[in-house]
Amino acid sequence: MSTKVTLSPSMESREQAEQAAVSWIARRETGPWSEQDEVAFERWLSGSMSRQVAYYRFKRTWGEVGRLGALGSDALPEQRLSDTFDEPDTSQASLPVHGSRVPRYALVASVLLAVVFALFLFRNEIFGLNSYSTEVGGLTAVPMADGSRVILNTNSRVRIVVDKHARRIDLQRGEAFFEVAKDPSRPFVVTAGEKQIVAVGTQFSVRREGENIRVAVTEGAVRLMASPQAVAGEQAPGVLLSPGAVARAERTGVRVQEQSIAEIEQQLTWRTGILTFRNTPLMEAVAEFNRYNERQIFIEDPGIAAIEVGGVFRSTDLDPFVRLIEDGLSLKVSRSGDRTVLSAR
- Between β-strands 167-179 and 188-192, what pairing exists: parallel, antiparallel or unpaired? parallel
**Predicted local distance difference test score (pLDDT) of residue 232:** 42
Q: What is the pLDDT of the chain when averaged over all its residues?
A: 78
pLDDT digits (tens, 9 = 90+) for 169-216: 999 999 999 999 999 899 999 999 888 999 988 999 999 998 899 999
Percent of the chain at pLDDT exceeding 70 = 70
Instruction: Kindly compute the dihedral angle of the four CA atoms of residues 139, 144, 148, 151, in this order, to the nearest 10 degrees.
Output: -10
Q: Measuring CA to CA, which residue among 270, 313, 316, 314 is closest to residue 295?
A: 316
3 pLDDT above the threshold of 90: no
230 pLDDT above the threshold of 80: no
1 pLDDT above the threshold of 80: no
Task: Give the pLDDT band of residue 112 (cuts 50, 70, 90).
Answer: low
Burial of residue 116 (number of CB atoms within 10 Å: 0-12, 13-18, 19+): buried
What DSSP letter does each residue of 257-284 carry, written as one string? Answer: EE--HHHHHHHTGGGGTEEEEEEEEHHH
Strands (E), 180-273: 188-192, 195-199, 203-209, 212-219, 222-225, 239-241, 245-250, 253-258
Domains parsed from the chain with CATH numbers = 9-126 (no CATH), 130-264 (2.60.120.1440), 273-344 (3.55.50.30)
156 pLDDT above the threshold of 50: yes
Burial of residue 216 (number of CB atoms within 10 Å: 0-12, 13-18, 19+): buried
Burial of residue 154 (number of CB atoms within 10 Å: 0-12, 13-18, 19+): buried
* Residues present in the chain in total: 345
Instruction: Kindly compute the dihedral angle of the four CA atoms of residues 306, 309, 312, 318, in this order, to the nearest 10 degrees.
Output: -70
List, in sequence order, the alpha helices (H) in the chain. Answer: 14-30, 35-45, 49-65, 81-84, 104-127, 261-267, 282-292, 318-323
Task: Give the pLDDT band of residue 95 (cuts 50, 70, 90).
Answer: very low
What value does the mean pLDDT take over residues 3-13? 48
The distance of Cα 202 from the centroid of its chain, to the nearest Å, equals: 22
